[in-house]
Amino acid sequence: MPDVEDSSSSPLVDPSQRCCNAWTRILLHVVMVTTLFSVIMFAYIYLCVVRHYAVASLVIQLIAYPALGCLYIYNSSSRQDKFLSAGYLVLVMSVFLISSFGLKSNGNTYRIEFVSLANMVAISSYCVWKCSFILHYYRLKKLVRTILHGAVVATLLVVIISAYGLYRRQLYGGFLFFSSVKESLLIQLVAYNAVAILYIGNSSGPKEKVISAGLLVLVLFVFLFCSFLANTYRTDLIFGANIVAISSHCAWKLYPQIRPWLDALDAHTEPSQPARQQEAVLRLQQTPFCIKDLPKEFSSDEIQSITQDFGKRIGHGASAQVFHGSLDDGTAIAVKRIHMHSGHTEAGEEEFRREVSIIANVHHRSLVRLLGYCLQQHGGGGLYLVYPFFENASLDRWIFSRSDEQRRLLAWPKRFCIAVDVARALAYLHKDCHRRILHLDVKPGNILLDGDLRGHVSDFGISLSITRDLTSVINTRGRGTFGYMAPEMLVNAVSDRSDVFSYGMTLLELIGGRRNFDPSSSATLDPNLAQNLREKMAQDKHMELVDIAMADVDEEAVKTVVKVALLCIQHERDMRPSMQNVVDMLEGRVAVNLPPEARRPSSSSAVNLSEPHSVSEHAIIDMQVA
């Protein structure tokens, strides 16, 4: 992702250690939930029912509820989730307390039961909320999800109707006691909460969740406040609210399945032939048609849904933020959000469209594939790109880690494999694409690692797509990253050999596990870097260039890679090899020799990165390939 830094400063760890940490968090989570559950049950059963310490029981219940609220809010992934959690908890307690007013009884201890049950409902809802992620993780098939959905709806209907039927039977039998009224009312309230979870859990986006919650709250409070006119009918009215809510849910979910049958019935009216033809054309136009492996266009609501309202940020930069998300089938993704400013992108819509068009037309195993995009600038939408999620982040987090153990995990065979992966990807961009592509910002931060630590080139936000035989006039100001930029980029003259220079600088950092240029300590790039490396090679001290954290390094392979890097970082761009030649040299098909000794740059030609450069507005791209 362009100019995106990982928002987590913690070093990467071994996957097995990450797994242990995850299980530790889950275990602590379960312990906290179990402890709260035990306290709530103890306060109600022992203190209230057995010992009749009503006040003590009520105090403990009221303390346990805020503790449960802290559990909700702390484990909410975004600010919006935190507000929703707090609102839900306030709503649950309010409904149970309001429902207890006006009931005829010999004492007020029954109110403790309502508070206790509010606690039980809240903690049960929390468990359902967290367990739903497990079901999502296992990627259940649509048929299985449909069966589970139907089973839950049927179970809720059976519980609601059975409880109400028993209540009416006792009422007509003349042996209805306060305990029966209370129990039936509590069952109906718990069932209503379950229906609410069913609504929210099956809403596909934030708008649907808000509409569902608003409908449920409106229905419940209308029936609840109507019951204050006659307290004896409170159970009946809550039962009615349940029936209305669950019937609306069934109608909502079954309508898409019933609609084809309704359309078939309408077809019996025998419309005229032109009308039938027009209807068929409209249906064909409205039918979604998806070609596999092509980027999908997402709506802004879908982007919000798959990122859970942008709850988990995994990277950020000057022009974009990256969020973790997952598709309906469980595929992990990374969503890049382009920064907005007064309804327009800071980088410009043209830059966004260029990135989409470039990435959509490249297909190589070592290039990051574009899964989808969103271009909605109106109605609160934004500009988004959807990529696969790479669990091992970018290369710079591995080779520049302060931990020797961390860098040791990326052994020499893996590093050499990454070097070849990146070289092949760049060779494909330069040679095999229909329109040649210059990346212009090759660096470790733009190389992502998959689960097998294979390299994938990312960030086409500043790339140039150019026809093969065209000489173009373009502006390269602001492109690239100091420390990796070819010298000619400072005067707006770029070609495919500019990427070769950046690749050579990245190759040296991959070998050594340290930066060639550190902006925090020096503002000047060493102009004698290539000459110093040549001297190391001449003195047979090439192993001094290798990261000390690595073990079992192949010396001959190191010699080859260093020679390739020296060829790539030559000051004169015409002296640099093409990326296809680099691939051939790394894979042993072409002999690798040290480049001819070039004239050492004078001190006046050193690039001072702390000072702004005055460059021409435009320059010619040399399209001739050596």
What are the contacts of 285-290 at 24+ separation with CB within 8 A? none
Burial of 27 (0-12, 13-18, 19+ CB in 10 A): exposed
Give the number of C-alpha atoms closer than 13 A to the C-alpha of residue 270, restricted to the C-beta side. 0
Rounded distance between C-alpha atoms, residue 336 and residue 355, angstroms: 12
414 labelled ligand-binding: no
Q: Between helices 15-41 and 54-74, what is the axis angle to 10°?
A: 160
**All residues at 6 or more sequence positions from 470 whose CB lies less than 8 Å from its CB, including other chains:** 623
Rounded distance between C-alpha atoms, residue 221 and residue 193, angstroms: 13
Burial of 64 (0-12, 13-18, 19+ CB in 10 A): buried
- Beta bridge partners, 387, equal 334
Rounded distance between C-alpha atoms, residue 488 and residue 472, angstroms: 16
DSSP state of 414: H
Instruction: Compute CA distances 288 → 94, 100, 281, 296, whole Å.
Output: 45, 51, 13, 11
Rounded distance between C-alpha atoms, residue 348 and residue 346, angstroms: 5
Yes or no: say if 499 and 579 are a contact pair by the CB < 8 Å rule.
yes
Rounded distance between C-alpha atoms, residue 618 and residue 474, angstroms: 6
**All residues at 6 or more sequence positions from 414 whose CB lies less than 8 Å from its CB, including other chains:** 453
One-letter amino acid for residue 246 of the chain: I
For this structure, is 584 an active site residue?
Answer: no
Q: Which two tokens stand for residue 251?
A: 């109608």
Give the number of C-alpha atoms closer than 13 A to the C-alpha of residue 269, restricted to the C-beta side. 9
Closest CA to 236 of 221, 249, 223: 223
- Beta bridge partners, 372, equal 296, 386
3-state secondary structure of 560: helix
Q: Out of 441, 459, 496, 499, which one is annotated catalytic?
A: 441
Rounded distance between C-alpha atoms, residue 439 and residue 456, angstroms: 13
Rounded distance between C-alpha atoms, residue 298 and residue 204, angstroms: 13
Q: Which two tokens stand for residue 446?
A: 């733009």
Yes or no: say if 619 and 476 are a contact pair by the CB < 8 Å rule.
yes
In this structure, the dihedral spanned by the alpha carbons of residues 72, 76, 79 and 84, taken in order and rounded to 10 degrees, is -50
Token pair 């050999």: residue: 497
In this structure, the dihedral spanned by the alpha carbons of residues 505, 511, 516 and 520, taken in order and rounded to 10 degrees, is 130
Burial of 374 (0-12, 13-18, 19+ CB in 10 A): buried
Closest CA to 494 of 623, 607, 617, 605: 623
Yes or no: say if 274 and 263 are a contact pair by the CB < 8 Å rule.
no
Report the relative pairing of strands 296-297 and 372-375 from DSSP bridges. Answer: parallel
Report the relative pairing of strands 296-297 and 447-449 from DSSP bridges. Answer: unpaired
In the chain, count H helices and then E strands.
18, 15
Residues in the annotated binding site: 336
**Hey, which residues are catalytic here?**
441
Residues in the annotated binding site for ATP: 336
